[in-house]
């Protein structure tokens, strides 16, 4: 009587399992609702166990040299005999198995509790492989953990290496590889040799970057950025207060801007504040290194047509809409170069256009904060807006001035809003009363008889 090999019995079970799994979907309708969650967990456990077994079979194949005899490398073998990994995962699994064979004496199915093993069962690679063969960690996660530990191990106290490895495995299994990278410095702080955290921080300094602008065809300009923890902390401390949602306390309207948009506008506001501060300290935008030059034709400016062009920075040649130019003409940190019909510069906006420091302080004392209904952005966060635009002949004096934060400054220009500036405050203490009907600016221009160009159309 011929005895049956144990491996043949296992393969028979595998065949039966595949048949059972294939037949089960047709009977799922008979499962009770409260059984489905448990059933999903059971199937997931089977998949995990099969994934671990697949790794062990591959390790046994690689250890015996079967692949070499066939003239295939590990990845090629996987693609040939584990075709589901052609979609993804073949390369990480191949690298992991090759690394285990090259760096350890781990054998498929070995008992980690056997103290006569010929490898260090508390080494990072042994701990990681144990999680893979158990089906807890997949190969991509295992390789991520191994790369982290290869970098961290020389910087840790020797006795802490197994603890840190196990912690990384647990975090990775529960939360994915991103959590491993996030916890790197914390683990190093708790288990690293003296000054390792500081040394790691210093190493990051040379990797910090901010890319050059990359204009896209649609008009957006993209940047990529990588900051050290210190740099990121400084930036986030500055962005945080400026990028919070700002619901309107008077109307109750929510701030519908996305978080990414609020952050972009907050960063712009920070840069504008720096430019304004630099200009004020140096006696005006012409003396500042941070001013923006925009060239635009007088005809386009008056008729609200065409576009302005940025000059003299990495954004040189960028086109911006006329409405945006008109808004920027309110800003003291921008110098418009207005061109006549023969492209000669007829105005550099250096005297009449800009509110003086004394005027700005007077407007701050009067308005206190952004004058748009419901906004309490403090004066330091605002621009002095020409109610009747400078390009439409608006005077640069207190009777034509109103404080607006960056967000509402843009909104006022986009919606074409007009305001009345009164010599005395109303019952609510407001000197500036906004007409929130879109197009009220054009209506005021026609009514008051100073409409020209696009406002007269």
Kindly list the domain boundaries of the chain, sorted by start residue: 41-202, 355-457
Which of 46, 54, 40 has its CA nearest to residue 132? 54
Q: What is the pLDDT of residue 390?
A: 79
Tell me the CA distances in angstroms from 308 to 23, 231, 288, 320, one per residue in order: 68, 34, 21, 5
- Do 388 and 394 form a contact (C-beta atoms < 8 A)? yes
User: Which token pair is 428?
Assistant: 């609510």
For 205-242, the pLDDT digits (tens) are: 888 999 988 887 667 888 999 998 889 999 999 999 88
User: Which token pair is 291?
Assistant: 């001013």
Query: Rounded to an integer, what is the distance from CA 166 to the centroid of its chain?
Result: 30
Q: What is the pLDDT of residue 260?
A: 93
Confidence band, pLDDT 50/70/90 cuts, at residue 320: confident
Instruction: Give me the phi and psi of 203, to 5 degrees please.
Output: -65, -30
- Number of C-beta neighbours around residue 320 at 10 A: 18
User: Which token pair is 405?
Assistant: 């934060």
Q: What is the pLDDT of residue 334?
A: 52
For 249-260, the pLDDT digits (tens) are: 667 778 888 999
Q: What is the pLDDT of residue 264?
A: 93
User: Which token pair is 432?
Assistant: 């500036």
> What is the residue-averaged pLDDT of the chain?
83
Q: What is the pLDDT of residue 355?
A: 76
User: Which token pair is 77?
Assistant: 């073998």
Q: What is the pLDDT of residue 102?
A: 93
Out of 160-174, 274-288, 350-364, which region has the weakest mean confidence (pLDDT)? 274-288
Considering the chain, what percentage of its residues have pLDDT values greater than 90? 39
pLDDT greater than 60 at residue 128: yes
Query: What is the spatial distance between Cα 359 and Cα 330, in angstroms, rounded to a whole number?
Result: 14
User: Which token pair is 278?
Assistant: 């630099």
Q: What is the pLDDT of residue 440?
A: 94
Query: Rounded to an integer, what is the distance from CA 119 to the centroid of its chain?
Result: 43
- Do 445 and 456 form a contact (C-beta atoms < 8 A)? yes
Out of 3-17, 264-278, 393-407, which region has the weakest mean confidence (pLDDT)? 264-278
- Residue 135 is given by DSSP the state T
| Residue whose tokens read 């158990």 | 134
Q: What is the pLDDT of residue 288?
A: 52
Helical residues (DSSP H) of 28-103, grouped into ranges:
33-64, 66-70, 74-81, 90-103
74, 75, 76, 80: CA torsion to nearest 10 = 100
Q: What is the pLDDT of residue 349?
A: 42
- Residue 339 pairs with which residues in a beta bridge? 297, 345
Out of 45-49, 293-297, 347-351, 402-406, which region has the weakest mean confidence (pLDDT)? 347-351
- Do 441 and 417 form a contact (C-beta atoms < 8 A)? yes
Q: What is the pLDDT of residue 332?
A: 47
Range 50-56 average pLDDT: 95
Instruction: Give me the phi and psi of 179, to 5 degrees please.
Output: -65, -30
Range 12-35 average pLDDT: 92
| Sheet architecture: strand order including 319-321 | 319-321, 307-311, 292-297, 334-339, 345-347
Confidence band, pLDDT 50/70/90 cuts, at residue 274: confident
Which of 133, 146, 203, 207 has its CA nearest to residue 172? 146
Tell me the CA distances in angstroms from 449 to 243, 392, 455, one per residue in order: 40, 12, 10
Which of 430, 437, 441 has its CA nearest to residue 402? 430
């Amino acid at each position: 009587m011929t005895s049956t090999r144990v491996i043949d019995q296992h393969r028979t079970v595998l065949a039966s399992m595949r048949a059972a799994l294939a037949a089960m979907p047709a009977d799922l309708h008979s499962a009770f609702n409260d059984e489905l969650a448990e059933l999903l967990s059971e199937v997931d456990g089977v998949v995990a166990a099969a994934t671990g077994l697949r790794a062990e079979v591959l390790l046994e194949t690689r250890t015996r040299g079967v692949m070499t005899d066939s003239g295939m490398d590990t990845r090629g073998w996987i693609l040939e005999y584990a075709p589901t990994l052609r979609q993804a995962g073949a390369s990480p699994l191949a690298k992991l198995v090759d690394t285990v064979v090259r760096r350890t004496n781990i054998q498929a199915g070995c008992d980690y509790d056997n103290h006569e093993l010929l490898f260090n069962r508390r080494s990072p690679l042994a701990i990681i492989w144990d999680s893979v063969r158990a089906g807890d960690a997949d190969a991509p996660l295992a390789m991520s953990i191994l790369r982290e530990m290869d970098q961290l191990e020389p910087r840790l106290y020797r006795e802490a290496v197994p603890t840190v490895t196990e912690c990384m495995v647990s975090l990775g299994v529960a939360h994915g590889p991103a959590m491993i990278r996030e916890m790197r410095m914390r683990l190093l702080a708790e288990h690293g040799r003296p000054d390792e955290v500081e040394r790691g921080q210093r190493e990051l300094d040379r990797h910090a970057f901010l890319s050059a602008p990359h204009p896209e065809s649609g008009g957006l300009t993209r940047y990529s950025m990588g900051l050290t923890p210190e740099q990121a902390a400084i930036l986030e401390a500055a962005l945080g207060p400026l990028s919070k949602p700002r619901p309107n306390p008077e109307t109750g309207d929510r701030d519908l801007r996305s978080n990414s948009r609020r952050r972009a506008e907050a960063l712009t506001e920070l840069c504008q504040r720096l430019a304004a501060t630099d200009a004020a300290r140096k006696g005006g935008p012409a003396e500042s290194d941070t001013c923006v030059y925009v060239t635009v034709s007088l005809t386009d400016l008056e008729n609200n047509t065409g576009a302005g062009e940025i000059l003299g920075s990495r954004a040189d040649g960028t086109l911006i809409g006329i409405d945006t130019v008109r808004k920027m003409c309110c800003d003291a940190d921008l110098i418009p170069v207005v061109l006549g019909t023969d492209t000669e510069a007829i105005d550099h906006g250096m005297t009449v256009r800009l509110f003086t420091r004394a005027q700005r302080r007077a407007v701050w004392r009067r308005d206190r904060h952004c004058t748009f209904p419901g906004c309490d952005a403090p004066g330091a966060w605002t621009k002095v807006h020409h109610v009747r635009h400078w390009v439409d002949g608006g005077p640069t004096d207190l009777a034509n001035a109103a404080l607006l934060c960056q967000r509402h400054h843009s909104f006022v220009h986009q919606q074409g809003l007009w305001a009345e500036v009164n010599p005395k405050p109303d019952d609510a203490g407001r000197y500036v009363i906004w007409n929130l009907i879109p197009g009220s600016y054009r209506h005021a221009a026609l009514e008051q008889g100073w409409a020209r160009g696009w406002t007269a159309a």
